[in-house]
Structure 1
Amino acid sequence: MEMNKMRSIGLTLLLSLGISSLIKAQKVDTLNAPAAVLPGVYADPNIAVFGKKFYLYPTTDGTEGWLSTSFTCWSSDNLVNWKNEGVILDLPRDLTWAKERAWAPTIAFKNGKYYYYYSANVNIGVGVSDKPTGPFTDPIQKPLIARGAKKGQMIDPMVFVDDDGSAYMYWGQGQCNVVKLNEDMVSCDTAKIVSFKPTGYNEGPFMIKRKGLYYLMWSEYDTRDPRYSIAYATSTSPIGPFKKATGYPVLKGKGVVKGAGHHSVVQVPGKDEWYIAYHRFKIPGGDGYNRETCISTMRFDAEGTILPVNVFEKLKPVKVK
């Protein structure tokens, strides 16, 4: 009887130790985050894939008031190691209507050309090039969407090309705006702009489509706020109406990671594999003017819900086949 009792106690201790080890292994170390994917300070990253390469188009950070004057492009064949392709658009050199506040670009491919949309002095401009690495020229010599066209700031463009070739541009701080672009990709009917404000919406809209469902994502709070985070809503149409997902942010800082937001998403061609690029306060000592670019895996559950992104998960190399 004593022997059986001792065996029972021993088994209980082993089980307890096993469970304790499992909990410890699952506990996330929030004091040590993976390194940023780009050196220095870059924010608002737009990630894309063309051919067998990934590309990043960020805001150059590091000035109070975000007074950057040019845009760069970065390329990678594995998502982990990035090459600086240099300046692809310089506002003072290439534009006649804006000289500073070069923010939050995005890129789209259509008609055999690459179209680059960006914020410049709180207007939205468009550039065109034969290559994803630019350089980009200004085909219309004026803003595509001028400052003051709608409520809020005319910043943070994102262009989504649907399966039927229709292209939609989303933008706006304070409220979200969407309009279908004309076939030339450099004009639109401003009378057909649809404006709305999902609960919590602040800026940085981004659209993806998966299994017939449209996911409109955005940033909440202010980029200088450590609570900066990502939420989303879904629709069966690219212009809504959208139903906001509830329960938790898709992406949010924790521990040493603060101000995680203003994202973009890329799908690995031919696979149901998704990655989210975003910025966070530079580690250490960063703030809303000194942010760095990161990439994490983004996953869906069986019902199509976007699961919370683990900002402490180490990024593994990814190849496009």
Structure 2
Amino acid sequence: MNRSRTITAAILLILISSGAIAQVHDTVRKISSATGVIIDTVPPPPALPGLFADPNIAVFGKRFYIYPTTDGTEGWLSTNFTCWSSSNLVDWKNEGVILDLPRDLVWAKQRAWAPTIAFKNNKYYYYYSANVNIGVAVADKPTGPFTDPISKPLIAKGTKRGQMIDPMAFVDDDGAAYLYWGQGQCNVVKLNNDMVSCDTSKILSFKPPGYNEGPFVIKRKGIYYLMWSEYDTRDPRYSIAYATATSPMGPFKKAENAVVLKGRGAVKGAGHHSVVQVPGKDEWYIAYHRFKIPGGDGYNRETCISAMHFDKDGNILPVNVLLKIHPVKLK
């Protein structure tokens, strides 16, 4: 018999004979971990070192990128944005500060939250929350530096009900671009071709059941998936749900089994996500934050990545937040 199996069997016999049956399961899992068997009870380490939340994951060329919120201050008073890049989705390089509110903006100095990025017109357009407004910046490279082309918010606070935060830019197959955002309700508007302006009179607002914040849209096989975060980011129940439509403007119908990502075990407050598709493949990954492990809360969060799968009918399957991902090579 294999030596590791002999040891495992011996430990099981001791535990059972001593009446410690309740401890058997956990002990076997620890031994399995030592022998290289994949286990799903211990959370994987965060993707990024340190405290980062609201990650927007993207792929440009042969690299993946994450654009997060800098976390770790009560009240979320961060003042700048960083960019991280990776060639394999596992090993991440800090590309430094790409937008600093006090230095680069004339209309906001703090509350730098929840960015997103889109590529069009051979430029990179970076949308972000700043002091509860939505701004836009532009650069020639995904790592910046980004500059403010309009010197004012793109979507100012008070434009619609709820907070004007959590932007998400989606460029469709025909080149049309849409901006989604909003806490309390979801808003969407078609961006003008310049990507730095829109007609605010044409904003469509709606609220799927359970919607709170953090909208994100993907398109797969002609179906538009609107995903969002439910509950509050300080709530351990924070989670991700979705709805589908045949148009980027909806109407969106919430899925029957809509919650696809939530906390489990030591993972709490898992939400505010983004999704990336490996180019040329039906292979998807979801980036999100969770309470820092150990001792985290809604102001101390860390960024994670998990695989995301669909069933044969196009439904998003529940994401295993305890399963470690493997390196992904881009061609």
TM, length-normalised to structure 1: 0.91
Aligned mates of 2:267, 2:136 — CA distance in 1? 33
Conserved 8 A contact 2:234-2:298: yes
Structure 2 residue 121 is matched with structure 1 residue 111: yes
Partner SS, residue 98 of structure 2: strand
Map 1:85-164 → 2, pairs under 5 A: 85-164=95-174
Query: Which of 181, 205, 226 matches 2:191?
Result: 181
> Which stretches in structure 2 are left out of the alignment for 5+ residues?
1-24
Conserved 8 A contact 1:280-1:294: yes
Q: Which amino acid aligns with 1:127?
A: A
Aligned mates of 1:122, 1:151 — CA distance in 2? 12
Query: Which of 253, 264, 270 matches 1:243?
Result: 253
Structure 2 partner of 1:286: 296
Aligned mates of 1:71, 1:163 — CA distance in 2? 28
Distance apart, 1:247 and its partner CA: 2.5
Distance 1:245 1:27, change over 3 A: farther
Partner SS, residue 285 of structure 2: strand
Structure 2 residue 236 is matched with structure 1 residue 230: no
Q: Which amino acid aligns with 2:65?
A: Y
Aligned mates of 1:58, 1:186 — CA distance in 2? 21
Aligned mates of 1:252, 1:27 — CA distance in 2? 21
How big is each residue's C-alpha offset from its partner over 1:117-149, in whole Å with a ceiling of 9 and x where there is no partner? 000000000000000000100000000000010
Conserved 8 A contact 1:41-1:282: yes
Q: Which amino acid aligns with 2:146?
A: F
How big is each residue's C-alpha offset from its partner over 1:74-117, in whole Å with a ceiling of 9 and x where there is no partner? 00000000000000000000000000000000000000000000
Instruction: Give % identity.
Output: 82
Conserved 8 A contact 1:278-1:295: yes
Structure 2 partner of 1:215: 225
Map 1:39-58 → 2, pairs under 5 A: 39-58=49-68
Structure 2 partner of 1:271: 281
Distance apart, 1:173 and its partner CA: 0.1
Partner SS, residue 251 of structure 1: coil
Aligned mates of 2:258, 2:279 — CA distance in 1? 28
Structure 2 residue 268 is matched with structure 1 residue 258: yes
Conserved 8 A contact 1:92-1:99: yes
Aligned mates of 1:27, 1:243 — CA distance in 2? 36
Aligned mates of 2:137, 2:180 — CA distance in 1? 16
Structure 2 residue 328 is matched with structure 1 residue 298: no
Aligned mates of 1:256, 1:268 — CA distance in 2? 29
Aligned mates of 2:100, 2:244 — CA distance in 1? 36
Q: Which amino acid aligns with 2:254?
A: K
Q: Which amino acid aligns with 2:303?
A: T
Structure 1 partner of 2:81: 71
Conserved 8 A contact 2:242-2:258: no
Aligned mates of 1:157, 1:319 — CA distance in 2? 29
Distance apart, 1:246 and its partner CA: 2.0
Distance 1:297 1:29, change over 3 A: closer
TM, length-normalised to structure 2: 0.89
Greater than 2 Å deviation, 4+ residue runs: 23-30
Aligned mates of 1:305, 1:251 — CA distance in 2? 13
Aligned mates of 1:172, 1:28 — CA distance in 2? 37
How big is each residue's C-alpha offset from its partner over 1:8-53, in whole Å with a ceiling of 9 and x where there is no partner? xxxxxxxxxxxxx9x98999643x2000010000000000000000
Conserved 8 A contact 1:248-1:308: no
Distance apart, 1:249 and its partner CA: 1.3
Structure 2 partner of 1:315: 325
Aligned mates of 2:283, 2:265 — CA distance in 1? 27
Aligned mates of 1:39, 1:305 — CA distance in 2? 32
Aligned mates of 2:263, 2:92 — CA distance in 1? 24
Structure 2 residue 186 is matched with structure 1 residue 169: no
Q: Which amino acid aligns with 2:205?
A: S
Aligned mates of 1:54, 1:173 — CA distance in 2? 27
